[in-house]
């Protein structure tokens, strides 16, 4: 065998195995297909054989700074640190401790969406093809009924439980956008299109794929279903211009005889803090119960981070209590540190333990009925809990988000104005 053939044979054997041999890189890349720049249409398999479609865009694919951006209506979620391993492309979703692992096959992608925090997770089937295809193909004869406006939506699970929620939608150029609000938060930015009988919508921003089918029974009512990877929920909707959730200040309360929060917890650097510390004494304090795995908590943090920078000199502080997926201090420290860096959080975020009722009861024994992430406590200058707000209406909810911001600022302003 000639020396040239020996070199190419060695390069072939070393591809994906030994890193750092730059003189072999050209040979390795010729044997590996890569992502390509442009818009892609993807699908994730959800329950009952349905597919949840979404769009993403790849930029700088052939460089070390490749970016894959998930697209859901106005929401754009960039994913970075994309890497290659043997014949696979690994796309981390760092905010949710998840990843997409695919192979490039004749210009298409096939693989799985995997939740890394779940040991042994086999993932959800994923496929994608490059091209300017729409999320949903336009209906030849779309329904004449417009979904635009507010809706009362009843969720009916297979177990027989029901819950009232609110939908808000708008249609522009045959594209439907909007969201569904629950008492815990919203379903993020839904995007879709009219069908012959109703509307279909979907969303994927890195954690849970949603696919929704709605069929109008008349101009003011619909029936349908929400599909996720875990199951199907029946939806029953009725048009209501005054649709609203139950009062979010009525869902979480302090137990009789309590008016203070007595937690003392470490931050990611190991420093223990409590509301009795000098830093918080005599100030209005916003305490956010959150998880770095929670999409609505991330929306809230994005707002609070900027708000804190603009208002901290007014005698107000924020403290986050983060309940994480694992009872592992190292895991929690890493998750909270990444969370603070990603959103520019300058207030303290404390490590509260593993998500679940047992940890909540230990950290917040004064609280009765905490059922949602996020839940926000408004604490006055004397350390007393003045109000508790359950859930969060994020940017995807449009006017509900604007109402939340106004209410939030009104509550804080009122507490600041109260003299000691």
Stated length of the chain: 420
Q: Please write the tens of the pLDDT for every residue from 94-120.
A: 999 999 999 998 879 999 999 999 989
CA-CA distances (angstroms) from residue 184 to 17, 28, 73, 251?
Answer: 47, 49, 22, 10
Q: Say if 270 falls within a structural domain.
A: yes
Asked if 102 and 162 sit in the same domain, the reply is no
Q: Say if 144 falls within a structural domain.
A: no
Please name the residue that has the structure tokens 């109402």.
403
Alpha carbons 334 and 319: distance in angstroms, whole number: 18
Asked if 208 and 349 sit in the same domain, the reply is no
Q: Quote the pLDDT of residue 160.
A: 53
Range of the domain at 18: 1-28
Q: Say if 54 falls within a structural domain.
A: yes
Asked if 396 and 286 sit in the same domain, the reply is yes
Q: Quote the pLDDT of residue 276.
A: 96
Q: Say if 140 falls within a structural domain.
A: no
Q: Say if 352 falls within a structural domain.
A: yes
Give the number of domains in the chain: 4
Alpha carbons 138 and 191: distance in angstroms, whole number: 13
Asked if 103 and 161 sit in the same domain, the reply is no
Last residue of a domain, one of 211, 239, 267: 239
Alpha carbons 375 and 290: distance in angstroms, whole number: 7
DSSP conformation letters of 272-283? EEETTSTTTTTS
Closest C-alpha to 15, from 88, 110, 66, 100: 88
Q: Quote the pLDDT of residue 419.
A: 80
Asked if 291 and 391 sit in the same domain, the reply is yes
Q: Quote the pLDDT of residue 108.
A: 93
At 350, list the tokens.
Answer: 């404390």
Asked if 326 and 271 sit in the same domain, the reply is yes
Q: Which residues of the chain have pLDDT under 50?
A: 1-31
DSSP conformation letters of 231-292? -EEEEEEEE-TT---S-TTSS-EEPTT--S---EEEBTTS-EEETTSTTTTTSEEEEEEE-T
Q: What is the CATH number of the domain that holds 211?
A: 2.40.128.120
Asked if 374 and 270 sit in the same domain, the reply is yes
Alpha carbons 111 and 309: distance in angstroms, whole number: 42
At 355, list the tokens.
Answer: 């998500």
Asked if 397 and 258 sit in the same domain, the reply is yes
- Beta strand ranges found along 138-183 (DSSP E): 149-156, 162-172, 175-181
Q: Say if 88 falls within a structural domain.
A: yes
Asked if 397 and 350 sit in the same domain, the reply is yes
- Angular region, 358: left φ>0, alpha ψ -120 to 50, beta rest: alpha
Q: Say if 246 falls within a structural domain.
A: no
Residue 278 half-sphere exposure toward CB, CA atoms < 13 A: 0
Asked if 235 and 352 sit in the same domain, the reply is no
Q: Quote the pLDDT of residue 21.
A: 33
The model carries a pTM of: 0.87
Q: Say if 248 falls within a structural domain.
A: no
Q: What is the CATH number of the domain that holds 333?
A: 3.40.30.10
Asked if 257 and 376 sit in the same domain, the reply is yes
Closest C-alpha to 63, from 101, 21, 34: 34
Q: Please write the tens of the pLDDT for every residue from 210-264.
A: 999 999 999 999 999 999 999 999 999 999 999 999 999 999 999 999 999 999 9
Contacts of 309 (CB under 8 A, 6+ apart): 344, 346
Q: Quote the pLDDT of residue 157.
A: 67
Asked if 275 and 382 sit in the same domain, the reply is yes
């Amino acid at each position: 065998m000639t020396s040239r053939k020996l070199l190419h044979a060695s390069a072939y054997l070393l591809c994906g195995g030994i890193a750092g041999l730059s003189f072999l890189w050209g040979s390795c890349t010729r044997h590996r297909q890569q992502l390509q720049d442009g818009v892609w249409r993807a699908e994730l398999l959800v329950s009952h054989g349905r597919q949840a479609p979404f769009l993403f865009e790849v930029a700088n694919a052939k460089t070390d700074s490749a970016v894959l951006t998930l697209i859901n209506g106005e929401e754009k979620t960039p994913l970075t640190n994309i890497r290659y391993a043997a014949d696979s492309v690994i796309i981390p979703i760092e905010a949710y401790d998840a990843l997409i692992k695919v192979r490039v096959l004749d210009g298409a992608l096939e693989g799985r969406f995997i939740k890394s925090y779940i040991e042994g997770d086999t993932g959800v089937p994923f496929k994608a093809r490059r091209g300017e295809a729409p999320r949903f193909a336009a209906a030849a004869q779309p329904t004449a009924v417009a979904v635009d406006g507010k809706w009362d939506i009843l969720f009916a699970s297979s177990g027989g439980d029901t819950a009232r929620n609110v939908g808000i939608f708008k249609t522009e150029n045959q594209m439907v956008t909007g969201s569904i609000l629950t008492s815990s938060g919203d379903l993020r930015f839904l995007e879709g299109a009219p069908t012959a009988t109703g509307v279909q919508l979907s969303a994927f921003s890195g954690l849970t794929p949603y696919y929704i089918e709605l069929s109008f029974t008349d101009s003011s009512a619909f029936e349908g279903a929400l599909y996720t990877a875990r199951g199907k929920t029946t939806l029953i909707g009725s048009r209501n211009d005054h649709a609203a959730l139950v009062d979010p200040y009525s869902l979480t309360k302090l137990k009789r005889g309590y008016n203070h929060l007595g937690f003392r917890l470490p931050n990611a650097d190991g420093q223990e803090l409590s509301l009795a510390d000098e830093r918080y004494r005599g100030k209005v304090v916003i305490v956010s119960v959150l998880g770095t795995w929670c999409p609505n908590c991330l929306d809230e943090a994005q707002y609070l981070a900027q708000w804190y920078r603009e208002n901290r000199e007014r005698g107000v502080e924020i403290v986050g209590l983060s309940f994480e997926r694992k009872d592992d201090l190292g895991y929690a420290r890493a998750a909270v540190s990444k969370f603070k860096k990603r959103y520019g959080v300058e207030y303290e975020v404390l490590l509260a333990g593993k998500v679940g009722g047992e940890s909540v009861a230990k950290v917040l024994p004064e609280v009765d009925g905490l059922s949602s992430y996020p839940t926000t406590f408004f604490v006055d200058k004397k350390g007393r809990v003045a109000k508790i707000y359950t859930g969060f209406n994020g940017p995807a909810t449009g006017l509900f988000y604007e109402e939340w911001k106004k209410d939030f600022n009104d509550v804080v302003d009122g507490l600041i104005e109260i003299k000691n």
